Amino acid sequence: VNARSVIEKKRDGGELTAEEIGFLVDGAVSGTVPPYQLTAWMMAVYFQGMTPRETAELTRAMIDSGDRLPVIDSPFLPVDKHSTGGVGDKLSFLVAPLVAAAGVPVPMISGRALGHTGGTLDKLESIPGYRTALEPEELSRQLERIGICLAGQSASLVPADRILYGLRDAASIVESVPLITASILSKKAAEGARALVLDVKVGSGAFMREMASGRNLASWLVETAALLGLRSRAHLTAMDRVLGRTAGNALEVAESVRALRGDGTAEDLRALTLALGGSMLDLAGAAASAAEGARRIEELWRSGHGYEKFLQLIEAQGGERKAVEGPEGLPRAGETLEVPAKESGVFLGLDARPVGEWIVEAGGGRSKAEDPIDHAVGVECLVDPRSKIVAGEPIVRLHLSNEAPRDGLERRAQRWVLLDAGSGPPAGGSPDPVLGVIDPAG
Cβ proximity to a second copy: between 16 and 42 the closer is: 42
Residue 178: strand, helix, or coil: helix
Q: 201 and 87 in contact (C-beta within 8 Å)?
A: no
- Site mask for a second copy (CB under 8 A), range 171-190, x = bound: xxx-----------------
The answer to whether residue 39 forms part of the interface with a second copy (CB under 8 A) is yes
Name the catalytic one among 65, 92, 183, 219: 183
The answer to whether residue 5 forms part of the interface with a second copy (CB under 8 A) is yes
The sign one gets for the Cα dihedral 24, 29, 30, 34 is positive
Is 407 known to be catalytic?
A: no
Q: Which stretch binds a second copy (CB under 8 A): 2-10, 289-297, 350-358, 419-427?
A: 2-10
Number of residues that bind a second copy (CB under 8 A): 25
Q: 181 and 217 in contact (C-beta within 8 Å)?
A: yes
Give, to the nearest 10 degrees, the angle between helix 18-30 and helix 52-63: 40
Is 342 known to be catalytic?
A: no
Give, to the nearest 10 degrees, the angle between helix 290-302 and helix 305-316: 80
Name the catalytic one among 10, 168, 309, 353: 168
Q: 74 and 203 in contact (C-beta within 8 Å)?
A: no
Q: How many CA atoms lie within 13 A of 375 on its CB side?
A: 20
Is 399 known to be catalytic?
A: no
Ordered DSSP codes for 247-297: ESHHHHHHHHHHHHTTS---HHHHHHHHHHHHHHHHHHTSSSSHHHHHHHH
Cβ proximity to a second copy: between 5 and 387 the closer is: 5
Helices of type H across 69-158:
91-101, 120-124, 136-146
CB of 3 to a second copy, least distance (A): 8
The answer to whether residue 4 forms part of the interface with a second copy (CB under 8 A) is yes
- Site mask for a second copy (CB under 8 A), range 17-36, x = bound: -----------------xxx
Q: Which stretch binds a second copy (CB under 8 A): 60-68, 121-129, 170-178, 405-413?
A: 170-178
Cβ proximity to a second copy: between 36 and 392 the closer is: 36
Q: Which stretch binds a second copy (CB under 8 A): 4-12, 81-89, 185-193, 417-425?
A: 4-12
Cβ proximity to a second copy: between 46 and 207 the closer is: 46
Q: Which stretch binds a second copy (CB under 8 A): 41-49, 225-233, 415-423, 433-441?
A: 41-49
Rounded to whole angstroms, the Cα distance separating 421 from 188 reads: 44
Count of C-beta atoms within a 10 Å radius of residue 176 = 18
Name the catalytic one among 60, 82, 231, 241: 82
Enumerate the active-site residues.
82, 161, 168, 183, 187
Q: Which residues are near a second copy by CB under 8 A?
A: 3-5, 7-8, 11, 34-44, 46-47, 167, 169-173
